[in-house]
Structure 1
Amino acid sequence: MDDDYREPEPFESAPARTATETEWRFAAPRLILVEWHDAHADWHNRVMADELFASPTYLPREGVEALACPCGNYKQLTVAGTWGGPLSLQCPCPSPLRANSDAPWAVNLLKRLILWHADATSELRQLNDLIIEHHTAHQIYRDRVTDLVDNSAAASTAHDLRALMHAPIPDNNLLPLARAVARREERETRPMRLRRALREVRLTPEGERPRYAGGPLTRYLIRAMTALADSDDRDLVFTEEGHRLLDTIDRVTTDIQQHDPGSTTHR
């Protein structure tokens, strides 16, 4: 499995009713989305930003994609392992081998999957908190940039300008995602709207392993949309946590569409 993946430590501890030594084995969710990072693209983008090109061309440097077996299959995977131990994935492909990883990201991913298996709403709670946290940070940065532009560089301090120059490269994937989510088509339920938006922003065509580009806020929105749109028979959309997460997705994407630079209503 790819060591360029990353996965944060889950907020919640091991399920209370089981010991950490318990051997878990269960069917994985339809898609296991993990964070990918491209070091070459990151270097390329920093060069573009430092050189102050008039029209810089940035490459996708991070995002989320579906975790897959070495054979390429990313569906009907089986998860096995203990809390805090290495992640083991078994694929229904003809090969009897299992993909194993004890990398930090894989250990954290196994914890997340165990929490999801024990209580699928736990992931919804975590994603809701992460989206709110990163959206708040996004708003603070956006307001600071707006103030600098409105007050002009001449009225800004050297410290402000330096901070702006060395700020992270804006996430160009966030506004297209927000627009896709905010658009409502006739007779389209909320899960249908999320599935359609996910199709519109994915980097890979239908039928291939899903891959998306974007920074932290975009990644958590993608994961949340996937969890709600593809919850199968768990009906996560109709849970209290599901309703709360849907409302958070709508509120955040509406704010981004209305106020981010490049939106049709931005002034």
Structure 2
Amino acid sequence: MDQIVIDRWDSGTADWNQGVANDLWGETSSYRHATGAEVLPCPGCGNHQNLIVEGCWDDPLTVLCPCGDVLTTDPDRSWSPANDWGRNVLKRLILNAADPTYEARRLRPRVVECHERERLLWSSPLGCYRMDPEDFELAVAVDLDASDLGAALTRALKPALPERHGGLPLTLVLLHVALALRDPLVRDSEDGQRLQDAVREALGDFRTWGAQGVAR
């Protein structure tokens, strides 16, 4: 595989943020995103390309590197079934291998979820709506009229991969959308078009709501 991209919560970054919060002179600009997209590396040499994935459905994830090192995620799922990321990644890779358009079907609900969550906040009768500046700036930066939405997202996001790319939920899902749309089988499929329509609709509303600032 070219690369395996996962979203990971980083405890070290969370500790950093807690230190900023505890510092009376700390500034919010010092906060870092605790969750980010990362390229899964070989634990031995750090390589993240030409990896071979092994395993069957519901197996732990096993990744073989050309250097000969092997990464196998924890086979014991009893300690935290909800955080069994290795099996979840392997299932996603199996489904994508069987049908690349699965990635579009997987990501569209995440885009819709971000859209609906923001809609609920915007329509709140409390009248104190403020869109996160990061989300608003991203929505404005994406060229929604571009024929190649994946390329437009990439230009706006400026992905840091293979370095860690931290961000809010909207940033991370759009990063995965941009990666998925690189594949013409995804981009030109019916599911891919639905995904792009959902992104354009969400970002169009975010521009409107963010510009209004306070919900009526």
Percent of aligned pairs sharing the same letter: 30
8 Å CA contact 1:174–1:214 kept in 2: the answer is: no
Is the partner of 1:65 in helix, strand or coil?
A: strand
- Aligned partner of 1:222: which letter? L
Note the C-alpha offset of 1:138.
2.5
Aligned equivalent of 1:195: 154
Mark the CA change 1:137 to 1:191 in structure 2 (over 3 Å): closer, same or farther.
Answer: closer
- Aligned partner of 2:99: which letter? D
Note the C-alpha offset of 1:31.
3.3
Consecutive unaligned residues of structure 2, counting only runs of 5 or more, are 76-83
Aligned equivalent of 1:114: 94
1:98 partnered with 2:70? yes
Is the partner of 1:148 in helix, strand or coil?
A: coil
8 Å CA contact 1:132–1:248 kept in 2: the answer is: yes
8 Å CA contact 2:150–2:179 kept in 1: the answer is: no
Note the C-alpha offset of 1:121.
1.1
The TM-score normalised by the length of structure 1 is 0.65
1:206-217 to structure 2, matched below 5 A, reads 209-217=162-170
Aligned equivalent of 1:243: 193
Consecutive unaligned residues of structure 1, counting only runs of 5 or more, are 1-27, 151-169
Task: Determine the C-alpha separation between the residues in 2 that align with 1:143 and 1:214.
Answer: 24
8 Å CA contact 1:37–1:62 kept in 2: the answer is: yes
Mark the CA change 1:149 to 1:138 in structure 2 (over 3 Å): closer, same or farther.
Answer: closer
- Root mean square deviation of aligned Cα: 3.1
The TM-score normalised by the length of structure 2 is 0.78
1:77 partnered with 2:30? no
1:68 aligned residue (8, 17, 41): 41
Pairs aligned (count) = 204
8 Å CA contact 2:180–2:187 kept in 1: the answer is: no
1:31-42 to structure 2, matched below 5 A, reads 31-42=3-14
1:139 aligned residue (109, 119, 126): 119
Task: Determine the C-alpha separation between the residues in 1 that align with 2:87 and 2:59.
Answer: 6
Q: Which has the higher contact order (CA 8 A, sep 6+)?
A: 2
Q: Which has the larger radius of gyration?
A: 1
